[in-house]
Homo-oligomer: A and B are copies of this chain.
């Protein structure tokens, strides 16, 4: 038998423990597929004596992940600490400097420092693999970077934050407002320690930035992702959207346009019957569109110890097989700097406004829309409550700037109460 591939694993949370559990469950199967045994030799974590329900006997312990990354007996450094700087970054830099391959689930770190780390690793003939960083157990990095490698990619879309999707589907199912469901999710431990990472779309934005780099051969540029969270989504909008055949999803879209790279992560309406529209709870979905293949849809668990460990070990097995590859699909030094561009692609929009009970009020709204060049596909006015009637509008495809113009004009009529809500309807 060939020599084993020896792992140093930093971070023994759900994912780290999941990796050890999966390796312990099927060592023979994994060795047969990898062509050599995969052997964890050393681990590191904050708390040594926490019960993790995995057998750590026979594994060396390092208090310092940097020391773990430098160990002579470690071939591949598996970083499962998390966080865009701190220990995770220091340990990965140490592993690269020591000439080791790295496998990580750390989207934040790669979204911020991916280019620099990829260049450093590739300069030493090493690589960083990150299947587990995007969409949990779905092998989307592999599908995009290898399976669709012959395609010019036109668009990448995805629902990639299970917590947000849980909150939105739970709001729909229960009729409870965002704040209540948010607290419920927090109580269930579904939210990151800093919940803004989830609900402000930051975590999903990190993932989108990584997919965009791979899809378009560009340097990862998280700063350019147009981010909007789910905090402003009202239960009324979820209900009205459902009535009109839509569901609201925190949807990421990356598209290469003539003016540059568009990256946005924001709540969108998608048709209820579409694959994205049917996504429940923590399930993730990624849609890939390429010149040869057309559209591919991948669906699976977006988080959790088992699925994420499956992705981590897929990378490890590839390394054991000698399949190294460039971090972002082509040498990092050849990745282009994309010109960030705001979305200018016309789309239908969902608008909700509160109309005062005045003669001619609706006509004023219609005129404001017309003046902004926005044409109406469908409109519904609901019964008045306390002098205000909700009006729901689905527009024909409209450039985003025309929608912004229309919202300004509507506001200036003075016949609406509160802010007019606008949510893009994404064609999927």
Contacts and interface: CB of A to CB of B under 8 A. Distances in A.
A143 B148 contact: no
A293 interface: yes
Interface in A46-97: none
A29 B217 contact: yes
Interface in A12-29: 18, 22-23, 25-26, 29
A292 B310 contact: yes
A301 B294 contact: yes
B150 A317 contact: yes
A316 B149 CA distance: 10
Interface stretch (A30-38, A183-191, A410-418): A30-38
Contact of A292 (B294, B307, B331): B307
A18 B142 contact: no
B330 A33 contact: yes
- With most chain B CB atoms within 10 A of its CB, the pick from A131, A151, A316 is A151
Contact of A146 (B150, B291, B294, B317): B317
A292 B313 contact: yes
A380 interface: no
B25 A314 contact: no
Contacts of A294: 137, 300-301, 304, 306-307
A298 B301 contact: no
Given A291-B22, A321-B325, A329-B33, A296 B150 contact: no
A295 interface: yes
A149 B34 contact: yes
A268 interface: no
A170 to B, nearest CB: 19
A152 interface: yes
Nearest to A321: B325
Nearest to A18: B292
A254 B198 CA distance: 38
Nearest to A153: B29
A11 B275 CA distance: 36
Interface in A154-212: none
A295 B138 CA distance: 9
Nearest to A300: B296
Contact of A150 (B150, B278, B309, B334): B309
A280 to B, nearest CB: 11
Contacts of A281: none
A297 interface: yes
- With most chain B CB atoms within 10 A of its CB, the pick from A35, A131, A148, A325 is A148
A231 interface: no
A322 interface: yes
Given A142-B143, A323-B321, A152 B296 contact: no
Contacts of A298: 296-299
A245 interface: no
A336 to B, nearest CB: 10
A318 interface: yes
A139 interface: yes
B310 A152 contact: no
A293 B149 contact: no
A299 B296 CA distance: 6
Contacts of A300: 293-297
A408 interface: no
A4 interface: no
Given A137-B293, A142-B143, A32 B217 contact: yes
Given A33-B329, A138-B296, 6 more contacts: A22-B151, A290-B310, A294-B307, A297-B298, A297-B300, A318-B323
